[in-house]
Amino acid sequence: MKKLWLDLGNTRLKYWVVDNNKIIAHDAKEHLKAPNELLLGLLGTLAGFKPQFIGISSVLGEKINHAITKTLQDFNVPFEFAKVNATHSLLKSHYDPTQLGVDRWLQMLGVVDNTQKQCVVGCGTALTIDLIDEGVHLGGYILPNVYMQRHALYAGTQQIDVKAGKFDSITLGKTTFDAVNHGVLFGVVGAVRAIQADYPDYQITLTGGGSNLLNAQFNNRLAVESELLLRGLERYFFNI
């Protein structure tokens, strides 16, 4: 069965086309706060793959999801939005399900193993940290990612003029430029190190676009699973 998975995030629209559980096409594009318009422009390309089902993860709210629904109704392919299920057979949760983003939940669902203690770190528009104890989500943390932190610092100060630069080191900065870029990365790395110290028996898995940037500060020793949300969608809809 050929399936189309859509991930409608805060800044990007990502899709995978899967045939017999193998990815045959994928892409990610910034939607610039106009995800439905971007989806409309992609429909011709997506129709060429002839999917038989569309599964959707969206964090964009009811109004945009309604527009997406109307667009997909004209696509004439069965579709469904994934929803957080705090009593799922694979993943229970102590978190308020009305407050848990479906993207975070699907990432956890994609990796959960009820024989392990796990920590899922989502490296996207926000940095999310979630702890799972043998199939039970205990809770987590949400932090601004390095780009958001740098932007907030720039916007909220008069003398710091740092809007760009690579996040490639957490060494002591010798200039304000380096102190800002190294500092915000230091904060994110420090959060993950604190999890390692406080929960030493939890296996950490990174996912999301910033995974490699963060993992580099751990000498690439942490596990990286770039397609956890895709795996979560597959488990949610087809229990694969």
Q: How far is CA 11 from CA 4, 24, 95, in A?
A: 20, 24, 25
Of 96, 103, 133, 161, which one is the catalytic site residue? 103
Q: Which residues pair with 133 in a beta bridge?
A: 117, 136
Of the given ranges (4-13, 159-168, 191-200, 206-215), which has the lowest mean pLDDT? 159-168
Q: Which residue has the tokens 């999890």?
A: 195
Establish whether 19 is a catalytic residue: no
pTM: 0.91
3-state class of 181 per DSSP? helix
What's the whole-number mean pLDDT along residues 65-82?
Answer: 94
In order of start, what are the domains of the chain with their CATH numbers?
Answer: 2-81 (3.30.420.40), 92-235 (3.30.420.40)
pLDDT attached to residue 159: 64
Q: Which residue has the tokens 């690579």?
A: 166
DSSP-assigned letter for residue 87: B
Task: Using a pLDDT cut of 90, give the percent of the chain over it.
Answer: 79
- Residue 48, Cβ neighbours under 10 Å: how many? 10
Distance CA 120, CA 143 (A): 14
Sign, CA torsion 162/167/168/174: positive
pLDDT band at 177 (very low <50, low <70, confident <90, very high): confident
